[in-house]
Amino acid sequence: MALSEDQIRRYSRHVLLPELGGVAQARLLGGAVAIARLDAAGQAAALYLAAAGVGRLVVSDERLVDAPGPLFESADVGRPCRDAARDRLAALNGDCRVVDAAEAAFALDATGEGVEGFAQGAAAARRAIRALAGVRS
């Protein structure tokens, strides 16, 4: 997968990092990470992963937003967490799609990615976040 001109601009800092480059960024865009719960830590993780360019976040949290947090605003209180996350993260980075577990399972079956796609996406996202934070692995 080649990066578009808009993606090269958006992820220019990632592309310039020797630890990442364009190939790794493209893999991040094709990756998926599962987030079980959108508590404060899950919200922060979702924000960082979306900003880093992970292509899909699989959210299995069925709860309603009960309070504002890192990802949610006061207007989100009472909405399903997944729906509020989908809206907030789409505004942050249109390359990142928030999907539920059933939709992700269907997509994995249809593409033949299997569980390995999740593991590779998660590993790539962790490396990207460490690189962006200046941490060497």
Instruction: State the pLDDT at residue 133.
Output: 53
Average pLDDT estimate for 81-108: 82
Is the pLDDT assigned to residue 93 strictly greater than 80? yes
Helix (H, G, I), strand (E, B) or coil at 55: coil
More confident position, 58 or 106: 58
Is the pLDDT assigned to residue 70 strictly greater than 90? yes
Domains of the chain, first to last: 5-132 (3.40.50.720)
pLDDT over 70 percentage in the chain: 74
What is the token pair recorded at 70? 């890192």
Q: How confident is the model at residue 110 (pLDDT cuts 50, 70, 90)?
A: very low
Place of tokens 């310039």: 16
Q: What is the pLDDT of residues 24-53, one digit of tens each?
A: 888 888 888 888 889 999 999 999 999 988
What is the token pair recorded at 89? 């993260």
Under DSSP, the state recorded for 89 is H
Q: What is the pLDDT of residues 115-137, one digit of tens each?
A: 445 555 555 555 655 555 555 54
